[in-house]
């Protein structure tokens, strides 16, 4: 369920807000095939737009929220559209989720979640300044600048010391694209230009995101793993119809022990 976590503490020391980051996998949920685990057990699909039973998606999201010590409505997911729009969130959605590919907040005990199945989940934190954000960086979003837009939104809210974590995504060796598309994207993000295992044109979206963060002076750590190569993660490139796993960022109030 929760495959990785990290707590980031600011320089202010004890009594200051902290940030909890997390990544889920496909294990420990209720969804049947094709969202189940490789072994056939219920899968932790968190995507409501992929054909899964809505009630099971809610159950899966409730389980993740509980693992984070939060009510279900405090797990906030946007309607991701492969763009660069950033929305500031102050609490649970009222009405339909916003169309956006990045979320930012200064509110505590609110889990911002980004859903992926090959795209790069980008988790951004400024614990010193009480700001967190998440971004959904697929090829279109990376090229459109969703990650720089999220960092800019954080800085507009007073974030001075932003750090980033990139979750697993499809690696460049597994992401074959037409040559003209690769060159179009690489014209603005040269680091994304690569080739597959067989030498055909490919894109490394995570490398493009790393380049963008370096240009913004944001320290970053990329977590290992390729979604297409890992049965514990959902991959659209590998499976076609599949679920979504999540990257999550939570700003915790001072002294939180969660």
Dump pLDDT digits (tens) for 128-153: 999 999 999 999 999 999 999 999 99
Instruction: Place 38 in a pLDDT band, splitting at 50, 70 and 90.
Output: confident
Looking at residue 66, its pLDDT comes to: 97
Looking at residue 255, its pLDDT comes to: 60
How many CB atoms are located within 10 Å of the residue 97 CB?
15
Looking at residue 253, its pLDDT comes to: 83
Q: Is the pLDDT of residue 208 over 90?
A: yes
pLDDT above 70 coverage of the chain, percent: 97
Summarised one tens digit per residue, pLDDT across range 55-64 is 999 999 999 9
Q: Is the pLDDT of residue 48 over 80?
A: yes
Measured CA angle at 243 (ends 237, 249), to 5 deg: 105
Q: Is the pLDDT of residue 242 over 80?
A: yes
Looking at residue 257, its pLDDT comes to: 53
CATH topology of domain 2-252: 3.60.140
Looking at residue 64, its pLDDT comes to: 98
Which residue in 80, 72, 83, 64 sits closest to 116, CA to CA? Answer: 80
Looking at residue 256, its pLDDT comes to: 60
Q: What is the DSSP string of the chain?
A: -EEEEEEEE-TT-TTS-EEEEEEE-SEEEEE-TTSS-TTSSPE----SSSS--HHHHHHHHHHHHHHTT--GGGEEE-B--SS--EEE--SS-SSSPPB-SEEEE--SS-EEEEEESSSEEEEEEETTTTEEEEEEE-HHHHHHTHHHHHHHHHHHTT--S-EEEE--B--GGG-B--HHHHHHHHTT-GGGEEE-TTS-EEE-HHHHHHHHHHHTT--EEEPP-BGGG-TTS--HHHHSS---EEEEEEEEPTT---
pLDDT above 90 coverage of the chain, percent: 94
Interacting residues of 254 by C-beta distance below 8 A, sequence separation 6+: 15, 16, 17
Summarised one tens digit per residue, pLDDT across range 82-123 is 999 999 999 999 999 999 999 999 999 999 999 999 999 999
- The torsion angle over the Cα atoms of residues 192, 197, 200 and 206, rounded to 10 degrees, is -20
Summarised one tens digit per residue, pLDDT across range 10-33 is 776 666 789 999 999 999 999 999
Give how far the C-alpha of residue 175 lies from the chain's centroid of Cα atoms, to the nearest Å.
18
92 near 72, Cβ under 8 Å? no
Over residues 178-205, the mean pLDDT reads: 96
CA distance 50 to 43: 13
Q: What is the mean pLDDT of the chain?
A: 95
The domain locations on the chain are 2-252
Over residues 230-246, the mean pLDDT reads: 96
CA distance 184 to 65: 39
Summarised one tens digit per residue, pLDDT across range 214-227 is 999 999 999 999 99
CA distance 139 to 82: 8
Looking at residue 15, its pLDDT comes to: 67
Over residues 219-246, the mean pLDDT reads: 97
Q: Judging by beta carbons within 10 Å of its beta carbon (0-12, 13-18, 19+), is residue 132 exposed, middle or buried?
A: buried
């Amino acid at each position: 369920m929760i495959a990785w976590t990290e707590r980031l503490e600011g320089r202010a020391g004890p009594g200051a807000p902290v940030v909890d980051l997390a990544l889920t996998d496909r294990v420990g949920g209720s969804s049947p095939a094709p969202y189940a685990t490789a072994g056939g057990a219920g899968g932790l699909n968190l995507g409501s737009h992929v054909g899964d039973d809505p009630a099971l998606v809610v159950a899966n999201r409730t389980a993740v929220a509980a693992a984070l010590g939060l009510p279900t409505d405090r797990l906030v997911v946007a309607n991701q559209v492969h763009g660069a729009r950033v929305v500031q969130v102050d609490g649970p959605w009222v009405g339909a989720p916003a169309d956006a590919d990045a979320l930012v907040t200064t509110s505590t005990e609110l889990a911002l979640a980004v859903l992926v199945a090959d795209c790069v989940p980008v988790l951004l934190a400024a614990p010193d300044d009480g700001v967190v954000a998440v971004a959904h960086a697929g090829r279109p979003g990376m090229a459109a600048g969703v990650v720089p837009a999220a960092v800019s939104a954080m800085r507009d809210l007073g974030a001075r010391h932003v750090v980033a974590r990139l979750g697993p995504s499809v690696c460049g060796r597994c992401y074959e694209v037409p040559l003209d598309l690769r060159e179009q994207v690489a014209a603005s993000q040269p680091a994304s230009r690569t080739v597959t295992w067989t030498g055909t044109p490919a894109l490394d979206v995570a490398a493009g995101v790393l380049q963008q963060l370096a240009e913004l002076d944001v320290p970053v750590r990329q977590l290992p793993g390729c979604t297409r190569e890992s049965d514990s993660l959902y991959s659209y490139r590998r499976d076609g119809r599949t679920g979504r796993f999540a990257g999550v960022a939570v700003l915790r109030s001072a002294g939180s022990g969660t």
